[in-house]
């Protein structure tokens, strides 16, 4: 069975979409472990689903965070690491060790509105401030840059008249919940 580890920093709604699809059999993988870089509901979601969950406090571990994550995902023998709303920056050593085995979901159509400081509601504010007619989400491989890795898949979302950042964020999130499991399924198929 293809095993995945999911890294979270927040509520874990993308994690939930993966859990639901793996438990229904729609996604042929097992969520082996969930790691949060702070206290967050995402780790609680994992525990409620019977998945091992860990909190590795980024403020305590600092530069040792990636080493601690590496130890766990190596012990769990994961095939793929998914950043699902994970806000800590992964260090170069970790990225190089897990090359092409780490993916991220980003709430814009990369390369637009990516990079340092572009996360959460800030992305949607920037999209609206730029007067864009469409936005969306992107799943990409993680490299040593920020939001600069090879794009796996994207979904577009229209920007509507009167959209607020919060309204746009909700509409994009609906598509994220579809795109992330689809991208994982694609990777599993390619690696069989």
Active-site annotation, residues? 106
Please, are residues 27 and 18 in contact by the beta-carbon 8 Å criterion? yes
Longest dimension (CA), the chain: 49
C-alpha span between 192 and 188 (Å, rounded): 6
Integer Cα distance of 72 and 66 in angstroms: 10
Show the beta-strand stretches assigned E in 21-175.
29-36, 52-55, 80-83, 102-106, 134-141, 151-158
**Strand locations in the chain (E):** 2-8, 29-36, 52-55, 80-83, 102-106, 134-141, 151-158
- For residue 44, the Cα-to-chain-centroid distance in whole angstroms is 17
CB 179 within 8 A of CB 155: yes
- Provide the β-strand partners of residue 139: 105, 153
């Amino acid at each position: 069975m293809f095993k995945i580890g999911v890294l979270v920093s927040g509520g874990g709604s993308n994690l939930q979409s993966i859990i639901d699809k793996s438990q229904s059999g729609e996604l042929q993988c097992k969520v082996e472990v969930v790691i949060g870089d702070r206290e967050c509901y995402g780790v609680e979601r994992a525990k409620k689903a019977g998945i091992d969950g860990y909190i590795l406090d980024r403020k305590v571990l600092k530069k040792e965070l990636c080493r601690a994550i590496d130890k766990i995902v190596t012990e769990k023998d994961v095939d793929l690491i998914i950043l699902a709303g994970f806000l800590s920056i992964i260090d170069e050593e970790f990225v190089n060790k897990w090359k092409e085995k780490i993916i991220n979901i980003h709430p814009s159509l990369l390369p637009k509105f990516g990079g340092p400081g572009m996360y959460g509601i800030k992305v949607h504010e920037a999209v609206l401030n730029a007067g864009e007619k469409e936005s969306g989400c992107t799943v990409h491989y993680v490299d040593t840059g920020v939001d600069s890795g090879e794009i796996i898949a994207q979904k577009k979302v229209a920007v509507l008249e009167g959209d607020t950042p919060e309204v746009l964020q909700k509409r994009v999130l609906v598509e994220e919940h579809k795109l992330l499991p689809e991208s994982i399924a694609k990777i599993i198929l390619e690696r069989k």
